[in-house]
Amino acid sequence: MSSTFKYDHNRLFDNLESALKNDLASVAVEANGGKSILFVYPPMEDDEYIEEGKLRLPTDQYTFVDIRQALSDYMNELGQDTFEAMYEEFGKEVYRSENNSEDTFFEYLMERIVEVFDEGKSPVIVHTGSLYDLDISNIHIMEDKRVLGARRHLIVFYPATVEGEKIMFLGKVPASRYRCIVIK
């Protein structure tokens, strides 16, 4: 690890910990009614930031929701044949659909997030790169009524590049920062 990495790493986590001390009303004002924190770091350092997050965020207050694992679990629960049939019929709407949210991956993921809220903890979404090209973005999660109505923060670990004020998810897709506080 370079000294620059250590400096940025510590600075970002210090800023995250500071933001988490803010009450939800303050966060909602700054985040246009949202309750989410977008924690931005370089895409190539995803694993390092996730591991450090697991060390710094106590398990009695935070639960990590791994998108990569959730996607695998979703497909396994459906079964390979069912998933393939659904994908053949609905295409990417199997992941998220404006017409029918039932049985979509997005609904499956949101149920996991709600379970964490119901435990009285804040969900920490990791491996968000797994959402790339699934028609699900951070704004869909942050603007979901279940997140907006929660009594806890939602933290999204977000591998992205920063170009001035522009945040590019995985260095490719502009990020929405509308319903969140951004730590970058």
Strands 173-174 and 166-169: antiparallel
Cα–Cα dist 127/86, whole Å: 24
Checking if the pLDDT of 109 tops 70, the result is yes
Q: Which helix (H) or strand (E) holds 85?
A: helix 80-90
Query: Torsions phi, psi of 165, nearest 5?
Result: -95, -5
- At residue 157, the 3 state secondary structure works out as strand
pTM (2 decimals)? 0.93
Residue-level pLDDT at 44: 92
Share of the chain above pLDDT 70, in %: 97
Give per-residue pLDDT as tens, 138-173.
889 999 999 999 999 999 999 999 988 889 888 888
Q: Taking the domains of the chain in order of start, what are their residue ranges? A: 3-17+24-159+166-177
